[in-house]
Structure 1
Amino acid sequence: MLTGPSSAKEFSKLLTEQLRLQTKDKHLGVGFEADEIPATDDNGEPSVEEKSKMDAEERQFMQAVNFGVERIERLPGNVGYFELRGFGNTEIVGHAISAAMTLINASDALIIDLRKNGGGSPQTVALIASYFTAPETHLNDIYNRSENKTTQIWTTPYTAGPRYDKNKQVYILTSSRTFSAAEDLTYTLQSLKRTITVGEVTGGGAHPVESERIHPHFMANIPFGRSINPITKTNWEGTGVQPDILSKADAALTIAHRKALENLLEKEKHPGKKADVQRALNSLNSIKENKDEAKK
């Protein structure tokens, strides 16, 4: 005998699976909320009071996760490491992004870890990209199907902290979990030839979405357009971002660190700094050799 879902949450999950199976769009989905979802006006906007409450809740949540900034570290050989878990709204997370970028500015190479980043705000993508590109660089276009309108996204004319030296190598780490806005940053900087991507092919979600209340307890995420990269004239929808160096996600950091050290060793002229980079590379290679030996 056929049985259906046993709860509203299971129903929303099953419905999402079926919708994605039919459309192949990983952004499309329906979610269940135990608390009643506030009604919106004819333009789909919540009341002023409800909007204020939602903003306060989002700020509280983003503060609890340190605004998406999971980890900032100086790796051996003066290689910076920046792990970012999400792209919150720019007005909420902007100060944390600028603080992180200021801390890692003195590094000689940088690794940005997006392996556990599921996306967020395209405006925050533009903010971060601004630290690695020239002012007012054309990053992306978003085409709105219903309005037949294209919105261009550019880097900011200035940044709160110093821009990262264009001559320093930047690596982005990816996994199959890297999705949406995290893919946007990866794809955009890769297309501009500003970064080297290391890791797995990403999730493949490029369509911007809007949330629609379809029932007091069900919310639908509905794609309304598509991203168009000004260089490739396409996007990563359904295909994911293809890494420059393909590897398992858990090996990506070691690979990127080694590549960064090898590059620094090749170009470094200062004897003291060169020796420091060599020691870091030797240590990294020693760890790899011990692991290889243990597998035998």
Structure 2
Amino acid sequence: MVTCFFVSIRSFDVRRLRSADVAALAQAMCDTATIILDLRLNGGGSGSAVVELASLFLPPQTPVLQIRTRQWQMQQEPFIIHTLPEEANLDHALEVELLRQHHWVEYRTKSRNMPIGSDKHGVVLIDKQCYSNGEIFVRCMQEYTSAAIVGNKTAGYVVAADEHDIGKGYKITVPFAEMLSGQGTQLEGVGVQPDIEADFGDLNEEQIIDNLYEMNVLRR
């Protein structure tokens, strides 16, 4: 069995993290004792991609993300999303359409058994350049698993917003909905605090693993 499996997740953009990619990760993770997920520099992306990855680690039907517009209180309960057609959701198009239609949506893990099991030791690396749905994924791992969250506090930029070009090279970002963790935690302006503070700088994968052993996050 491989001792550590280290993977960098730089984005939850549907174009870059497809269900086939997550399935390949699941296969690779099966034969390892420890999984290290590097969410540093993660720019965010789609809630559906967060669900794909979170479904490897969390039980079926686990809430991982809520998004609500100003009209959300008109709804008695959220519209539940487990998975979306990837081609229809490029650039979050389908997610935005469903949100504008229902005003309150909740993303939950897929109705399937965790393919890699729950017996793995997990570590999630974070930094101040982990944004948006990257932060949501980190928080759901913190809320529902025993994974150690290691690094620096995330950016705290967790809001659904439209970007408008106003000319002369300037753009403005206008929020249209709030994003909460599966358990309803507000991350906008707050970020995710690590369980263990650490700064890995420009260390490579092997050096980071050595540091995690020295910090007793990993044990030989």
Q: Same fold (TM over 0.5)?
A: yes
Higher gyration radius (CA):
1
Are the equivalent residues in 1 in contact too, given 2:17–2:49 (CA < 8 A)? no
Are the equivalent residues in 1 in contact too, given 2:160–2:177 (CA < 8 A)? yes
How far did 1:97 drift?
2.2
In structure 1, stretches of 5+ residues that fail to align are 1-73, 263-276, 278-296
Counterpart CA distance in 2 for 1:239 and 1:217 is: 29
Counterpart CA distance in 2 for 1:87 and 1:244 is: 23
TM, length-normalised to structure 1: 0.55
Please tell me whether residue 235 in structure 1 is matched to residue 189 in structure 2. Answer: no
Q: 1:22 corresponds to which residue?
A: none
Counterpart CA distance in 1 for 2:45 and 2:209 is: 23
Q: 1:84 corresponds to which residue?
A: 9
In structure 2, stretches of 5+ residues that fail to align are 74-102
Please tell me whether residue 256 in structure 1 is matched to residue 212 in structure 2. Answer: yes
Are the equivalent residues in 2 in contact too, given 1:175–1:249 (CA < 8 A)? no
**1:20-69 Cα distance to aligned partner (Å, 9 max, x none):** xxxxxxxxxxxxxxxxxxxxxxxxxxxxxxxxxxxxxxxxxxxxxxxxxx
**RMSD of aligned residue pairs (Cα, Å):** 2.7
**1:247-291 Cα distance to aligned partner (Å, 9 max, x none):** 1133765443554541xxxxxxxxxxxxxx4xxxxxxxxxxxxxx
Q: 2:133 corresponds to which residue?
A: 181
Alpha carbons of 1:236 and 1:261: their partners in 2 closer, same or farther (altered >3 Å)?
A: same
TM, length-normalised to structure 2: 0.73
Are the equivalent residues in 1 in contact too, given 2:64–2:109 (CA < 8 A)? yes
Counterpart CA distance in 2 for 1:111 and 1:227 is: 26
After TM superposition, the structure 1 = structure 2 runs for residues 23-62 of structure 1, keeping only pairs within 5 Å, are none
SS at match of 1:234: coil
Structure with greater contact order relative to length (CA < 8 Å, sep ≥ 6): 2
SS at match of 1:189: helix
**1:207-245 Cα distance to aligned partner (Å, 9 max, x none):** 1223445569765432211122343x3222112110011
The structure whose residues are more often helix, as a share, is 1
